[in-house]
Amino acid sequence: MTTTSSPGLATRAVHAGRDDFTDRGVHALPIDLSTTYPLADVEAGGAAYDHLSGGRPPETGDSYVYARLWNPTVAHFEAGIAALEGGSDAIAFASGMAATTALLMSRVAAGKPHVVAIRPLYGGTDHLLATGLLGTEVTYAREGEVASAITERTGLVFLESPGNPTLDLIDIAAVTRAAGGAPVVVDNTFATPVLQRPLEHGARVVLHSATKFLGGHGDAMGGVLVTDSETAATVRPIRAITGSILHPMGAYLLHRGLATLPIRVERQQRTAVAVAAALAEHPAIRRVMHPSRPGGDPLALVGRQMSGPGSILAFEMRDGYEAALAVAKRVHLITHAVSLGGVDTLIQHPAGLTHRPVASEAKPGPGILRLSVGLEDASDIIDDLVHAIE
Ligand SMILES: *Cc1c(COP(=O)(O)O)cnc(C)c1O
């Protein structure tokens, strides 16, 4: 390249994590399925083992020793997502929950087991924190209560924006200020780096369920943390020890997904705005939750923190639970299934499914359905919903 300015997001999405392809004479990302790697001799192998199990990237010429420690296909996906989020390092896991687990364990290991969490959170995250399974202690706080919830044992402030499933937006910079020095992790699964880059607003760590938008086709499970090198060095050894590295087939699919991420997110978002507007007109619907709707962005974060409202929305049926169940059952084009962020539109009932393990005081309302808007024509999605509602 002859230009010195840093490339735009769409360019990075296509090219990041491909830097060495020309030198290696390849055009598609090679999938390295080796579970073990030849060693030059015992001492060189031992040195490489120490290096990798300690959480550092391999040095040139080093053996990768064993696939639980390092995988070059995974490393290409990590380079790609790090470039999109603007972080120096990324660590990829077998799932989003595996990423969350490793991050929480790293804080417990550092002697900082207290987590301040802002609800609503993904049901699995809420459940993991509420049970204290990993030795964490949680204080659930509202955005304005973060400063007073921090103690000297606080190792992490956990938030999600937009929140799951009600699309609440949280001011990341304000939470970072309130957290003092405590690291803030933002689950950026709903927004993706196309719409929001939390590290630019002071977050220490970005978390993704890569299973969702990053892969984008509903056929690869993964999770990833993006952060600075120092924080990454505290998490990588945990991935190696606990064995939660992403599979190389998954890494291939997730890396491929990055290339079309900006175009998918933008198109799905445009359709979601149209679907949200159409649903808001329907007499059977009490309210539509989407940052594009009046009252959906009370802190005016769209434009300041997020470049658009995204493509996940929720709506509440006026007749409550039974009406919501009937809609989920009667859709045809739309699939009734959990998960989100793929090319096809999905609908699900958060209180009954994704947020089932969440305590009743934090559970979404019984009449609420969550919609992940895909790449179909907006008119077909709207027709299917209207037909299911009526
Ligand atoms: C799905 C999801 C997770 C968990 O990720 P998995 O890949 O299913 O383990 C975490 N956060 C959000 C917002 C999610 O949607």
What residue segments make up the domains of the chain, in order of their start?
9-258, 262-389
Alpha helices in the chain (DSSP H): 9-15, 21-24, 42-53, 72-85, 96-109, 123-131, 146-149, 172-178, 192-195, 229-242, 248-280, 320-330, 378-389
**Res 4: pLDDT:** 58
Q: φ, ψ for residue 332 (rounded to 5)?
A: -115, -60
Tens-of-pLDDT digits for all 390 residues of the chain? 445 578 999 999 999 999 999 999 999 999 999 999 999 999 999 999 999 998 888 988 899 999 999 999 999 999 999 999 999 999 999 999 999 999 999 999 999 999 999 999 999 999 999 999 999 999 999 999 999 999 999 999 999 999 988 999 999 999 999 999 999 999 999 999 999 999 999 999 999 999 999 999 999 999 999 999 999 999 999 999 999 999 999 999 999 999 999 999 999 999 999 999 999 999 999 999 999 999 999 999 999 999 999 999 999 999 999 999 999 999 999 999 999 999 999 999 999 988 888 888 888 999 999 999 999 999 999 999 999 999
119, 129, 189: residue to mutate for ligand 1 pocket, most atoms within 8 A of CB: 189
Q: Establish whether 212 is a catalytic residue.
A: yes
Q: Establish whether 68 is a catalytic residue.
A: yes
**Res 1: pLDDT:** 44
How is 96-109 classified by DSSP, letter by letter? HHHHHHHHHHHHHH
Contact between residue 244 and residue 94 where contact means Cβ atoms under 8 Å apart: yes
> Which residues line the pocket of ligand 1, CB cutoff 6 A?
95-97, 122, 124-125, 160, 164, 187, 189-190, 209, 211-212, 221, 223, 340
Contact between residue 209 and residue 189 where contact means Cβ atoms under 8 Å apart: yes
Per the document, the length of the chain is: 390
223 beta partners: 93, 209
What whole-number distance in Å separates Cα of residue 175 and Cα of residue 193?
A: 19
Residues 6 or more apart from 8 whose CB is under 8 A from it?
Answer: none
270 token code pair: 């445009």
Contact between residue 371 and residue 273 where contact means Cβ atoms under 8 Å apart: no
Nearest to 372 by CA among 341, 349, 350, 351: 341
CATH topology of domain 262-389: Aspartate Aminotransferase, domain 1 (3.90.1150)
Between the CA of 383 and the centroid of ligand 1 the distance, in Å, is: 29
Between the CA of 55 and the centroid of ligand 1 the distance, in Å, is: 24
78 token code pair: 């990590």
310 token code pair: 């995204």
Q: Establish whether 270 is a catalytic residue.
A: no
Domain 9-258 in CATH 1.10.3720.10? The answer is no
Separation in Å, CA 259 to CA 1, 129, 243, 312, 339: 19, 33, 28, 21, 21
Which atom of ligand 1 is least distant from the CA of 223?
A: 7
Q: Locate tokens 């999770």: which residue?
A: 223
Amino acid, res. 324: A
Task: Report, in angstroms and rounded to the nearest whole number, the Rg of the chain calculated over CA atoms.
Answer: 21
What whole-number distance in Å separates Cα of residue 363 and Cα of residue 286?
A: 18
